[in-house]
Chain A
């Protein structure tokens, strides 16, 4: 086959336990977002749009759904003869008894054989649970221009929040001189996005050595990057200024959905030159009933609204029955809000039924109400 200049590996093992009941059955990258997408559609579509042909997806927790989802490489257009999306699960080794990756670097190390079959010059490492649009080809150009050994994507965060992130301190010309994980007194506001480009030859050598090191936690942030800095390697920060969200909690997932209600939102999913691809569904277009009221909403195909929807995001197949009200809420695929029910500041999980006249949430509630189980309705 023709050589692949850059191969992408997506770390999709995140459990996302702070997303509570949303991630009891699916891994975090498979969580729904934005009306019709799953979070992992973003890195996968970014790869397809950046002309990356081969993507490995590294899964571990509850990954049956994610595995079958990702295996359909045609969804993201990665279906040419030499393209593909491959699900890479941990290799069970008889002498170890460990069935999970020990760290982010270990996940890559265990798949060196897979990467070697493509003989890439560069390796792109991504996280499967971030929402953003990014052209990795431009990042690779920067990597080459800087003659870097590794390039790390960073984004500016408010300095007062910088102590929550992994912070890259640079020499003012993009070269990383120091990496601090959650520093108490941050010297810079450039936070690592967990997106790395490595020159594969060097990384491969370092991973092989790291695997043999009993003191290593086999993690990029904790072991590989510090070691590279210690060896005074060329590590460069690539600054990304667009929309980026790590939806770690119910509130932040809700908020990221709400961001889409602003027609001028910086994520702009309506850009025909950078589409986000996802599972194709066979449904009707959205049906807005004769008595429906819609005031500011983000609604996808297969939705049926007979009641009223205000400032909300409705996913594929969601139904709002007559007299029901959905306010400042997110309805995931297949949710049914029965007659007379009122939802305010709620996030309703996939296929949940909210019964007649049920009231959930309130306008001034502090947090977002997660509705993960059917709620039986009262009578009129």
Chain B
């Protein structure tokens, strides 16, 4: 679960990222490197820009300026003039759309509201990306999709439609759908916030399993306990800037930033009781 070597190039590299919605500035210069196999959790109050940052990585949000590199390829580059003039909503991307689509398919995204395709079965949802986007052989994709669904504990649900599945099951189908593309990095946008409390655990378990398999992950979540458990690194965003960045232990248990202190306050009340146990296992 930890970053292997510090000398290698980062898998995901974000440089000087700015994002605005109209006149409102959402991200104010984000610099972030994520290494191969690293699990990074983004936390912050609502409106701090964590979901916006995640959605910039595969350009679901169009940044105003900056540079984003996935693997060795740039997916976004606003060019030398930076295009950061205030009021300008989206900077022009120098990367052609054809390349953007291809590089996008190397990131997998899991959404708060699952966003499964309601007219397709669980199996068809998982097969859709590899077959339609990558043009792979349907029979071969089907085999892999079945095994991915099985890994997610969804045996026997392959031919059900999303509306016939619980929220937790739908979210696990969504994780399988994203994994089927063999992404280099997986992005999770508050994957458990739309779930009933008793269903949260099964989705967390599926994500932990994925993290153990060596997947590089960037996760936005409000579940600080889960963040503590799964993250190699926790990043606290405040007003569109990275306010704190470090190992889960440090950021969540020994925060220095004032806002972060109050943000993790409630978590601390529980964590203090559990600290001896948490620190020995962490």
A joins B in a complex: no
Which residues of B pack against A, CB within 8 Å?
none
Which residues of A pack against B, CB within 8 Å?
none
